C-alpha cells in the first residue's frame, strides 16, 4: 500500500489518533489488536481508516494473537503495527522475542498505565521502560522511542516504522496514558512520508544470507518462490535450525544484538537545553521530560543554573549522550513517573562524574509538582 | 557393478538436505507428511503458492524444515494466530497449518475456537497422538481417561476433547477425522480442505509408539495401527451402534461440510 498523502495542515488531535495517523503516513497496511485502556483509540481509528485504504484491521482474541498476526502479515511484506498497554504487553512478550529472533519488522505501541497487574487503566505511568527491553526471555536488544506530545506521537510512529523496516526488528513506541489521551495541535507533513522499505531477498541472490547479517539481511518474504524457512529456534544465515551447537547460539545471539548495537548512534536521539553551565540537570523521558524542561526553564528564570535532558530514544540507552551533556554538572536529578526505572542506567553512565539521584512524583501516576522538584534541587 | 537409487515420488517436494528426519521409529508423522504431499501432487499445485505454518512439538517438524516451501515455524500454541495474519495480509496464499494436538488445542485452544469462528480460509491438519511426545510423554487434553503418563502417574483425569465436535460448534465449515491407518482418505480430505473456502479442520489420529504406545499399553506402531483401524467407524456405522459403545470408537470421515466442498 503506498504511503498516504496528507495535506499540509495543522489538526487538533488526540495523541493516540496522532499515532494512528502517523502509522498511516508511514505506510502501515495491517493492524491487529485487542481493546485495552488507554490505547484503544489507536485501534478504533485504524479500524475506520485502514479498510478504505485496502489495508487490514482485525481485532484478535487476545494480545498474544495480535502480535502473532502482525508477525505473520509482516512476512507477506505488509508494514504492521499493534497497540496495547502494560497487561497486553506482558502477554505479548514471548512473540516479541520471536519477532526479534526471526528479524520481523513490526511496530508495537505501548500506552503505559499504572501497574503492576490490572492496576489503574487510565492513570499515566512510565513503568514499562524496562519491560520493553528485557521482558522477553533470552539476550536481545530493542529499540524504543518515547513521545512527549501529540506531535511526537505522530513523528515517532513514523520513525518507528522506518526503523523497524531498516533493521528488521520490532520497534516500540513507549507513550504514557497522558500523552495518548492529550489533545494538541499536530502539524501533518505536506507530502507523503518518504518511507523506508525493508530490503527484500530475490531468487537471484540464492545463497546470500537471509538472516543474521549485522548489515541487515534482505528479507525472504513469503510468496516469492524463496522457500523461506522462518523459525524462532536458533538458526543460521539461511534460517535453518541448529538446536545442537552452543556456537550456533553464540552466533545467533551476537548477530541479532550486533545488528542493533552497530547503529546505536543513529538510533539515539536526545533533546536537551541549558546544560552547558548547569550545576543541576533534570533528566526525564516522555511527558515527564517535558515537565523537566518546564521546571528547568522556571529555575533559570529564578537565577539557578539548571539544565534539562530528555532522552527521546529510550532504547538503546543514551548513556554516551548523557555523559557528554551531564559530566560537568554537580548533580543530575532523574524525574520519572515510576519508582526509578531509568535511574540505575543514568547512575551507571553518569555516576562517576556527578551525583545522581531520582525523584518520583509525590503521587505516582500524577505529574511532578514543580515546587516539589525545586525543593528537591535545593536539598 | 552398478547401483541404482530409487527416488521417492514425493522427494521433489522436500527441502534439499532434509532427507533424514527427526521422527522416532514407528512415528505416524511420516505417513501424514506423505499424505499431505500426495494431496498437493494430485492437485498439481505449486509449492510456491503455499505457506505452511506450524507450532512447537513433533508435528511442527512435518513441514519445517522438510517441505520445500515458505514455512513459518511459530511459538508454541500460536500457530493459528500467525496463520491468520498471513492469510489476511495475502489472501491468495494457500495457508496450511500442520501441528499437534497439544499445540493447537491445549496452549492454542483459544486461537483454535476463534479461527474456527471466523471461518477463515485455512486448512488445518491437527496431528493427534494423544500425548506430549517431544517432551517425553506428558498428559494432553486428548489423552484418554485413566492413561498413566509422565505427569499423570495415577491416571489421566477428565474426558479428552472431541476436537471435531469442538471446532464444528465453534464454526468450522469443513471437518474431517481420519487415522494414519487410512492415508488415502487423509489425502482426499486435505485436497477437499484446500479446495474449501473456509476453515477446514482435519484431525488425524496417529500413533506415537515411543510415548503413548509405551505408556498406554497399546504397544508398537503395528499394534497401534491395528487398534486405530479397529476403532474407526463411519458416521453410518456409528448411528447403528449402541451409544454406550461409542466412547471406545472414533468416528472417521467427513463430519461437516462434505457437500460444500469446492463451493464459495
- Domains, chain B, ordered by start: 28-256 (3.40.50.970)
Q: Convert the pLDDT of each residue in B235-253 to its tens digit.
A: 999 999 998 988 889 999 9
Distance from CA of A314 to the nearest CA of B (A): 28
The reply to whether A69 and A161 lie within a common domain is yes
Taking the CA atoms of chain B, what radius of gyration do you get in angstroms?
18
Beta-carbon separation of A222 and B82 below 8 A: no
Give the SS3 label for residue A104: coil
Beta-carbon separation of B86 and A222 below 8 A: yes
Give the pLDDT band (50/70/90) at residue B264. very low
The residue out of A188, A213, A248 marking a domain boundary is: A188
- Predicted confidence at residue B247, as pLDDT, reads 84
E-only strand ranges, A203-279: 229-231, 270-273
Q: Could you tell me which residue, B212 or B261, shows the higher pLDDT?
A: B212
Q: Which chain B residues are Cβ-neighbours of A95 within 8 angstroms? A: 75, 78
Minimal Cα distance from A222: which residue of B? Answer: B70
B85 class by beta-carbon count within 10 Å (0-12 exposed, 13-18 middle, 19+ buried): buried
Interface of chain B toward chain A, CB-CB under 8 angstroms: 15, 47-49, 51, 53, 64-65, 68-75, 78, 81-90, 92-93, 110-111, 114
Q: Is residue A216 part of a domain?
A: no
- Predicted confidence at residue A3, as pLDDT, reads 54
Q: Is residue A64 part of a domain?
A: yes
Cis-peptide into A157, omega within 30 deg:
no
What's the structural domain count of chain A?
A: 2
Query: What CATH number did the domain enclosing A16 receive?
Result: 3.40.50.970
Residue that is written with C-alpha cell 560537568 in the block: A328
Distance from CA of A348 to the nearest CA of B (A): 35
User: Best of B14, B81, B134 to disrupt the A interface by mutation (most A CBs within 10 Å)?
Assistant: B81
Q: Which chain A residues are Cβ-neighbours of B51 within 8 angstroms? A: 75, 222-223
Q: Is residue A255 part of a domain?
A: no
Beta-carbon separation of B89 and A78 below 8 A: yes
Q: Which chain B residues are Cβ-neighbours of A243 within 8 angstroms? A: none
Report the DSSP beta bridge partners of residue B67. Answer: B14
* DSSP at B209: I
Q: Which of B72, B88, B110 is closest, CB to CB, to A75?
A: B72
Per-residue tens of pLDDT for chain A, all 379 residues: 455 555 568 999 999 999 999 999 999 999 999 999 999 999 999 999 999 999 999 999 999 999 999 999 999 999 999 999 999 999 999 999 999 999 999 999 999 999 999 999 989 999 999 999 999 999 999 999 999 999 999 999 999 999 999 999 999 999 999 999 999 999 988 766 778 999 999 999 988 999 999 999 999 999 999 999 999 999 999 999 999 999 999 999 999 999 999 999 999 999 999 999 999 999 999 999 999 999 999 999 999 999 999 999 999 999 999 999 999 999 999 999 999 999 999 999 999 999 999 999 999 999 899 999 999 999 8
- Predicted confidence at residue B19, as pLDDT, reads 77
Beta-carbon separation of B85 and A68 below 8 A: yes
The residue out of A157, A188, A219 marking a domain boundary is: A188
Q: Is residue A205 part of a domain?
A: no
Query: What CATH number did the domain enclosing A306 receive?
Result: 3.40.50.920
The reply to whether A150 and A20 lie within a common domain is yes
What does the alpha-carbon distance between residue A78 and residue A29 come to, in Å, rounded to a whole number? 6
Q: Is residue A335 part of a domain?
A: yes
Asked whether residue B148 carries a pLDDT value surpassing 60, the answer given is: yes
Asked whether residue B126 carries a pLDDT value surpassing 80, the answer given is: yes
A318 class by beta-carbon count within 10 Å (0-12 exposed, 13-18 middle, 19+ buried): buried
Residues 9-48 of A with CB under 8 A from B: 29-30, 32
Contact A205, A218 (CB under 8 A): yes
Which domain covers residue A136, as residue numbers? Answer: 9-188
Distances (CA, A) of B208 to A334, B63, B124, B218: 59, 18, 20, 10
- Predicted confidence at residue B263, as pLDDT, reads 41
Q: Which chain A residues are Cβ-neighbours of B78 within 8 angstroms? A: 64-65, 68, 95
The residue out of A156, A188, A220 marking a domain boundary is: A188
The reply to whether A178 and A287 lie within a common domain is no
The reply to whether A183 and A276 lie within a common domain is no
B262 class by beta-carbon count within 10 Å (0-12 exposed, 13-18 middle, 19+ buried): exposed
Q: Which chain A residues are Cβ-neighbours of B114 within 8 angstroms? A: 60-61, 65
Cis-peptide into B65, omega within 30 deg:
yes
Amino acid at each position: 500500500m503506498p504511503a498516504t498523502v496528507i495535506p499540509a495542515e495543522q489538526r487538533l488531535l488526540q495523541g493516540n489518533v496522532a499515532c494512528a495517523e502517523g502509522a498511516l503516513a508511514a505506510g502501515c497496511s495491517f493492524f491487529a489488536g485487542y481493546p485495552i485502556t488507554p490505547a484503544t483509540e489507536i485501534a478504533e481509528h485504524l479500524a475506520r481508516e485502514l479498510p478504505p485504504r485496502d489495508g487490514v484491521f482485525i481485532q484478535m482474541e487476545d494480545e498474544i494473537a495480535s502480535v502473532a498476526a502482525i508477525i505473520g502479515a509482516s512476512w507477506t511484506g505488509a508494514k504492521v503495527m499493534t497497540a496495547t498497554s502494560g497487561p497486553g504487553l506482558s502477554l505479548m512478550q514471548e512473540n516479541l522475542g520471536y519477532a526479534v529472533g526471526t528479524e520481523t519488522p513490526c511496530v508495537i505501541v505501548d500506552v503505559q498505565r499504572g501497574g503492576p497487574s490490572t492496576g489503574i487503566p487510565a492513570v499515566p505511568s512510565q513503568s514499562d521502560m524496562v519491560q520493553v527491553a528485557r521482558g522477553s526471555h533470552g539476550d536481545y536488544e530493542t529499540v524504543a522511542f518515547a513521545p512527549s506530545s501529540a506531535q511526537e506521537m505522530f513523528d515517532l510512529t513514523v520513525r518507528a516504522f522506518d526503523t523497524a523496516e531498516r533493521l528488521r526488528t520490532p520497534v516500540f513506541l513507549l507513550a504514557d496514558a497522558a500523552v495518548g489521551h492529550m489533545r494538541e495541535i499536530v502539524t501533518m507533513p505536506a507530502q507523503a512520508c518518504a518511507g523506508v522499505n525493508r530490503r527484500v531477498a530475490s531468487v537471484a541472490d540464492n545463497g546470500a544470507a537471509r538472516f543474521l547479517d549485522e548489515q541487515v539481511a534482505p528479507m525472504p518474504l513469503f510468496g516469492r518462490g524463496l522457500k523461506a524457512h522462518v523459525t524462532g529456534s536458533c538458526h543460521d544465515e539461511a534460517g535453518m535450525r541448529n538446536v545442537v551447537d552452543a556456537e550456533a547460539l553464540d552466533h545467533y545471539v551476537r548477530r541479532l544484538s550486533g545488528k542493533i548495537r552497530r547503529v546505536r548512534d543513529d538510533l539515539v536521539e536526545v533533546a536537551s537545553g541549558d546544560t552547558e553551565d548547569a550545576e543541576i540537570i533534570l533528566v526525564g523521558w516522555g511527558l515527564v521530560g517535558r515537565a523537566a524542561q518546564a521546571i528547568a526553564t522556571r529555575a533559570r528564570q529564578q537565577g539557578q543554573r539548571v539544565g534539562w535532558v530528555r532522552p527521546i530514544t529510550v532504547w538503546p540507552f543514551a548513556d554516551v549522550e548523557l555523559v557528554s551533556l551531564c559530566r560537568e554538572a554537580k548533580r543530575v536529578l532523574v524525574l520519572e513517573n515510576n519508582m526509578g526505572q531509568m535511574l540505575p542506567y543514568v547512575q551507571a553512565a553518569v555516576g562517576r562524574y556527578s551525583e545522581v539521584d531520582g525523584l518520583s512524583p509525590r503521587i505516582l501516576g500524577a505529574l511532578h509538582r514543580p515546587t516539589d522538584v525545586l525543593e528537591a534541587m535545593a536539598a | 557393478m552398478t547401483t541404482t537409487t530409487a527416488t521417492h515420488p514425493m522427494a521433489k517436494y522436500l527441502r534439499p538436505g532434509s532427507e533424514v528426519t527427526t521422527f522416532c521409529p514407528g512415528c505416524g508423522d511420516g505417513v501424514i507428511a506423505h499424505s499431505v504431499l500426495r494431496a498437493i501432487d494430485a492437485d498439481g499445485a505449486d509449492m510456491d503458492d503455499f505457506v505452511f505454518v506450524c507450532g512447537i512439538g513433533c508435528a511442527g517438524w512435518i513441514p519445517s524444515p522438510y517441505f520445500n516451501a515458505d514455512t513459518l515455524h511459530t511459538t508454541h500454541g500460536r500457530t493459528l494466530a500467525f496463520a491468520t495474519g498471513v492469510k489476511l495480509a495475502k489472501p491468495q496464499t494457500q495457508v496450511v497449518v500442520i501441528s499437534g494436538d497439544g499445540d493447537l488445542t491445549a496452549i492454542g485452544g483459544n486461537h483454535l475456537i476463534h479461527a474456527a469462528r471466523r471461518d477463515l480460509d485455512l486448512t488445518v491438519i491437527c496431528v493427534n497422538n494423544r500425548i506430549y511426545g517431544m517432551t517425553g510423554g506428558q498428559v494432553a487434553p486428548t489423552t484418554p481417561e485413566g492413561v498413566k503418563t509422565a505427569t499423570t502417574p495415577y491416571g489421566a483425569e477428565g474426558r479428552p476433547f472431541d476436537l471435531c465436535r469442538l471446532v464444528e460448534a465453534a464454526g468450522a465449515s469443513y471437518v474431517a477425522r481420519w487415522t494414519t491407518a487410512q492415508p488415502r482418505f487423509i489425502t482426499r480430505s486435505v485436497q477437499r480442505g484446500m479446495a474449501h473456502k473456509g476453515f477446514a479442520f482435519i484431525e488425524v489420529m496417529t500413533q506415537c509408539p515411543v510415548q503413548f504406545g509405551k505408556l498406554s499399553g497399546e504397544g508398537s506402531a503395528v499394534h497401534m495401527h491395528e487398534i486405530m483401524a479397529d476403532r474407526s467407524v463411519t458416521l453410518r456405522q456409528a448411528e447403528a451402534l449402541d451409544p454406550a459403545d461409542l466412547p471406545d470408537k472414533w468416528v472417521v470421515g467427513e463430519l461437516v461440510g462434505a457437500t460444500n466442498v469446492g463451493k464459495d
